[in-house]
Structure 1
């Protein structure tokens, strides 16, 4: 294993020298002792042909040369526009899942090992020639014995040892960069590698992807907006996934979409509607919606329907994040920067000690130039990206769910404007957000919240009753017991004061319309009062 790791290191070093990535490092503002190393590199002692490639092109080609794991890492970097320079992020965005397929015999062997039966027993037909090949898996067409046309996705063999080795070196490089350069430290390279580690290991579990696809299909069951292929669970394993084969036009195939007279304006608007429906109505959104994973149905081009595949990366938001995000976007639309700043502090995205006036001024400085353009030319994704960059100056902690959200929004927005350049994202999104906010405060929604909390009443009531019964037990009348009671009285009164304060805070912060759902506050108030005044 150590020999393999050393070999891999030499391979990485050769690629770094070939594309002169070390020059990119020395272009950063480094300490003096590190800058001095520029002149002791042996490969720089003889004349070298000048490279005509940009820094982004050199990085992209190097990642392609290093293989699937680094390609995937480059794709992740391209989504972190809040951290990467624009020219580098644009170049890395060109990385596609265009990896040479692995041997079909290995693929068949792995499928048979996972399923426990021969391929000929599981499928009426199995095409050994893969339909497509990506960085971590490849796909074969097949037909079930029952007649359904399916695709079989299988993980590349031997990936985990390579991933472990590559991640170890990536972490080492990231830590060295953070230690040696203030500029590199601002980009948080260790956090980026941490994100990548979680993403790549999640994508290696095809049962997780199958579960995500099944949930997404259920969310859009019968919807004209989005179709998700059916999962055949009896044939799914950790390294093998079998799902319905879909037939559609790739969303970037503009010529075919035009030939079938697809309503491009409606298609672009439905993409935005799908995004907001997933984020706000379902809190379960496909977070890897690049063009390779999106198709358009050929059935009804006048009412186009999207088809989504590859649900390995899914994002979700808490109700609190949903609420604050919707309020932020609406406040942005009204240019109410004070409210935006206050919402960031209230949500805990920036420290509570942040001065609202300073944060408001920083947000205004970033956003006012953007709003000078026509609304249809304003990028939602760019706005969020600039906001996050500004918030980082005020010690905003990285919110993984918001990073996934920003990445998905950038993909959807870019795709929508590619389909229909005059797409006005604001006019599509604003009515949706306002309607969602109204529905949150509707009697039906409040009743649902009340019912959900009522389900917890028996459990809380039992806990309260048990607590009060224990506290009301008669004291043993002897001096030792009395002294013991005196020693334990003040902690109980302290607990009572905490309950009283928490109950008062909770009751005071409850919206009037939701007062019916504030029964936990009254339980805390009663319990706290009892603990304080009891003998």
Structure 2
């Protein structure tokens, strides 16, 4: 797999690649020039209010232009838009809202090229690999497309099923991904030198996060391993299903999976016709999601409605029998013994597909999430903010007082309310609170780690699906059993960690005299810094007054000097008098702004 590091120049592989690279970089240059003019230059000459007046419209236009560029180029650009649409921590809502609807749907690749790619990957003729291969794709994305197929009789008899889905990467996608990542790394390097951006986000790190995820997504062997790990995690759960990987017909750029297509999870009418209660499906989906996060520590990070099916057991049994085998693989056996019964007595599964994007919970993240959940369930705003620091979300320089107050207000007003209850609140109140809370969040120096971002994305998507299934569904109730489990194990964890904590406290006490001495030294040298927001605000006001005074002095000096010099040097005197207009304009605009 290519390494996601460095800042290489554009790969000089073809004229089309160079043109693509220049197109991406040119768009970034236009954005940077616009940002410099409106966010840095105009405010420095006293036109801050004028620059802020059209900021929303400019950001929306920029997002719209990027959306057009992404659809035109395809490749990783659509993935970039989807990645940025989730970065609520660093981008304003004007941008994220515009990019949320960006769909990874492009024109299908000609079947002749797909045939060549498949034959090259599997090392055998298409007719030998499959008894049937549908030339019309069921889905076409920027990186690859999917086709229905049937396995050859001998392989189908061995596996216990014949209907499969074959995912094939687009020919030449490796070169496109390399060009796109090279352009993104170059842009990330530029942004790291722009203080307006670097003080809010680590652009090169964001690019590398995106690069790692993208390179994993085009490695179909990685996706296959994810699918098998997910299946193993839920081997004892009769509700959860996943497709079986056909390793005999899979490679780095081709992936064959058992066809598990069934009822789309948000198709409420189809669920009811099948005798399945949508509210029970919502409960099970939430349970399975939190089981992945808090128990398995390995979760499906793209659980949108197209990636989750509800499969009646009868349908699974019928599909497996078509292969002519009485003893199917373990996936069919588990389907026949499922115990997920609804009120109508119908047995069904939650069937997940597409394991290209997965999240993993590390031990530090698990501990931080434990404290986060405890604080959220207990409506403890101070503990919740502290847990955000443990998760690496808030930087050490963040002033969290305002965030604590905002979280307290959030808990007091909306804590514990379900979706249906929130819909009864005056929309103007929700909008005003959202605007105030968003402003508080955006001024804080924080950046979400990728694992935490995937977690937020997952819970957000699942919340939307459960609400579509049951308007009265309450996510707080769903997470409560897991919170209780965390509470019950918290004491045991504390006892287990007691020796480690004692060692940490002992180390802190041992270092305390030295740190006190360092503090005293800094005080003596006058190096102690104290944050005083009110004083800082007043100092900025004084600084602006001094700048206005300086402009007035420069204006007067140029004007008077020009008047006197006109009698001896008319040209120089006129130039000085004309130049006096610059500080005059600065003075007028700053006074008007005041």
TM-score normalised to structure 2 length: 0.63
Name the residue aligned to 1:372: 413
Residue 310 of structure 2 aligns to a residue whose secondary structure is: strand
1:293 to 2:300 alignment:
no
Residue 473 of structure 2 aligns to a residue whose secondary structure is: coil
Q: Per the alignment, do residues 100 and 220 of structure 1 end up closer, same or farther by CA in structure 2, a change over 3 Å counting? A: same
Using the alignment, how far apart are the partners of 1:56 and 1:239 within structure 2? 32
Residue 400 of structure 2 aligns to a residue whose secondary structure is: helix
1:401 to 2:451 alignment:
yes
Using the alignment, how far apart are the partners of 2:198 and 2:303 within structure 1? 29
Name the residue aligned to 1:166: 180
Name the residue aligned to 1:468: none
Residue 40 of structure 2 aligns to a residue whose secondary structure is: coil
Name the residue aligned to 1:496: none
Name the residue aligned to 1:59: 66
Contact 2:150 2:163 in 1 (8 A): yes
Aligned-pair CA distance for 1:265: 1.7
1:320 to 2:364 alignment:
yes
Tell me the number of residue pairs that the alignment of Structure 1 and Structure 2 aligns: 433
Q: Per the alignment, do residues 226 and 115 of structure 1 end up closer, same or farther by CA in structure 2, a change over 3 Å counting? A: same
Aligned-pair CA distance for 1:213: 0.2
Using the alignment, how far apart are the partners of 2:92 and 2:394 within structure 1? 23
Residue 152 of structure 1 aligns to a residue whose secondary structure is: strand
| Residue of structure 2 aligned with 1:80, choices 77, 87, 105 | 87
| Residue of structure 2 aligned with 1:7, choices 4, 19, 23 | 19
Name the residue aligned to 2:255: 241
Name the residue aligned to 1:533: none
Aligned-pair CA distance for 1:229: 0.7
Aligned-pair CA distance for 1:150: 1.1
Name the residue aligned to 2:151: 144
Using the alignment, how far apart are the partners of 1:177 and 1:435 within structure 2? 44
Using the alignment, how far apart are the partners of 1:331 and 1:441 within structure 2? 16
Name the residue aligned to 2:225: 211
1:438 to 2:494 alignment:
no
Aligned-pair CA distance for 1:230: 0.8
Structural RMSD (CA): 4.0
Structure 2: tracts of 5 or more residues without a match: 1-10, 46-56, 157-161, 314-340, 423-432, 508-594
Residue 280 of structure 2 aligns to a residue whose secondary structure is: helix
Q: Per the alignment, do residues 390 and 317 of structure 1 end up closer, same or farther by CA in structure 2, a change over 3 Å counting? A: farther
Of structures 1 and 2, the one scoring higher in RCO (CA 8 A, sep 6+) is 2
Aligned-pair CA distance for 1:8: 1.6
Using the alignment, how far apart are the partners of 1:199 and 1:174 within structure 2? 16
Q: String of CA shifts for 1:424-469, please: whole Å, max 9, x gaps.
A: 1111111222124425767xx999x99xxxxxxxxxxxxxxxxxxx
1:427 to 2:477 alignment:
yes
1:94 to 2:101 alignment:
yes
Structure 1: tracts of 5 or more residues without a match: 36-49, 451-500, 510-535
Aligned-pair CA distance for 1:141: 1.3
Residue 164 of structure 2 aligns to a residue whose secondary structure is: strand
Q: Per the alignment, do residues 508 and 180 of structure 1 end up closer, same or farther by CA in structure 2, a change over 3 Å counting? A: closer
Name the residue aligned to 1:190: 204
Aligned-pair CA distance for 1:176: 3.0
Using the alignment, how far apart are the partners of 1:258 and 1:175 within structure 2? 53
Aligned pairs for 1:328-407 (under 5 A) are: 328-344=372-388, 359=400, 362-373=403-414, 375-377=416-418, 398-407=448-457
Q: Per the alignment, do residues 504 and 78 of structure 1 end up closer, same or farther by CA in structure 2, a change over 3 Å counting? A: closer
Q: String of CA shifts for 1:12-60, please: whole Å, max 9, x gaps.
A: 478889xx9689646751346999xxxxxxxxxxxxxx99985544432
Aligned-pair CA distance for 1:133: 1.3
Q: Per the alignment, do residues 340 and 366 of structure 1 end up closer, same or farther by CA in structure 2, a change over 3 Å counting? A: closer
Aligned-pair CA distance for 1:503: 10
